[in-house]
Structure 1
């Protein structure tokens, strides 16, 4: 199969199109997590290897990121006193984030 000249010269890689903010550090459950300013807290947590954000209320099964667009509410976290989906919160240097379980343990 012969490749067209358009296909041969174009690239599907996103490496030239991605513009990341500066590297920042956020605190999640008291632990530092590296992130890029403006990326979602969920993306930063996933990149750091954190997959579980809470436990289901009925059977206590681990829950994490699912839709990553704010519809499912699986990635709820506390940020500055507000319960928000981590996938909709942009990372900012020094931001403090608490998972639901951590906050419940801390506050009782």
Structure 2
């Protein structure tokens, strides 16, 4: 897996590769990845700030700051930094992925 994302993955061999969709785009990630890791491995940002067009990428990475809210395809809000990605899961970011790579 290579990417132009914010995060750069080290070689992984002990975890199963799975697929999820982010803003409709299929991506390959690994079982045990958080949603934030999955998204930022492929993109430089997670979403836009609610009060401006500033881009956000998570801040504390442990669920305290609430900077990483995204939604599942059913509309449920989740914290990307503390939610594990699931095989076949569909994630919707606030800006719909307008900043791929």
TM-score interval w.r.t. the shorter chain?
A: 0.7 to 0.9
Q: Structure with the greater relative contact order (CA < 8 A, sep ≥ 6): 1 or 2?
A: 2
Structure 1 runs of 4+ off > 3 angstroms?
A: none
Matched, 1:92 2:82: no
TM-score for both structures, normalised by structure 2: 0.73
Question: Highest Rg: 1 or 2?
Answer: 1
Gaps of 5+ in 2: 1-9, 97-101
How many pairs align? 85
Q: CA deviation at 1:20?
A: 4.5
- Per-residue deviation at 1:36? 0.5
CA distance in 1: counterparts of 2:84 and 2:49, whole angstroms: 25
Does residue 1:51 correspond to 2:44, yes or no? yes
SS for the counterpart of 1:24 is: strand
Matched, 1:83 2:42: no
What CA deviation, in whole Å up to 9, does each residue of 1:16-49 have, x standing for no partner? xx8853100100000011111121011112222x
- Kept in 2: contact 1:56–1:63 (CA 8 A): yes
Aligned equivalents of 1:89, 1:19: Cα separation in 2: 22
RMSD: 2.0
Q: Secondary structure at the match of 1:57?
A: coil
Structure 1 residue 29 corresponds to structure 2 residue 23: yes
TM-score normalised by L of structure 1: 0.68
